[in-house]
Amino acid sequence: MHFVNLAHGSLYAVGAYFAASLAAVGGYWLVFPRAGCGRRVGMLLYSGLIKRMRKSGPMAQVLVTFGLIFALLDLTRIFWGDLALGIAVPDIFQGRTALLGVEYPTYRLFIIVLGFAVLAALGFVLRRTQIGAMIRAGSITT
């Protein structure tokens, strides 16, 4: 996309804190379909700040996004504090599951299966859709 963005990890953290706050109110299953909460913050930042920086050189982009890291870090500390937040594992995923003679936490197995499902969906999109063709065409290096 020809834009140097160093603040993507901070956006991920803001989304995770939003998700943890929603889970504290409505539980795991309220948050699960809304896992990309941070994308709204990213869209606001893009339309308000980053879009203006697209024509600037890479050094200006690095400086702005590096500043965003500090701003988002301070905002998360102001709203959520310095301690890490967690989400309780749903009852359906409590316990352990035996697989090939070894017991694994059921929730971790769910996350592994979910990861493979997302991988398969992304593979399908990249190989079989028009947007996938555009992404592949844009990523070819010579």
Q: At a CB cut-off of 8 Å and minimum separation 6, what does 29 contact?
A: 90
Q: What is the pLDDT of residues 6-27, one digit of tens each?
A: 888 888 888 888 888 888 888 8
Rounded Cα–Cα distance for residues 141 and 59 (Å): 23
> Rg of the chain's alpha carbons, rounded to an integer?
19
Q: C-alpha dihedral over 55, 58, 62, 65, to 10 degrees?
A: 20
Which residues pair with residue 98 across a beta bridge?
A: 103
Residue 30: closest CA among 12, 43, 44, 18 = 18
d(CA 58, CA 6): 11
pLDDT digits (tens, 9 = 90+) for 66-124: 999 999 999 999 999 988 888 888 889 999 999 889 999 999 999 999 999 999 999 99
63's tokens? 């400086």
Residue 60: HSE in the Cβ half-sphere, 13 Å Cα cutoff: 10
Q: Are 19 and 41 in contact (CB under 8 A)?
A: no
Q: With 80 as the cut, is the pLDDT of residue 60 above it?
A: yes
pLDDT in tens, 25-35: 888 787 777 76
Q: How far apart are CA 57 and CA 127, in angstroms?
A: 33
55 secondary structure, DSSP code: T
CA separation for the pair 113, 105 (Å, rounded): 13
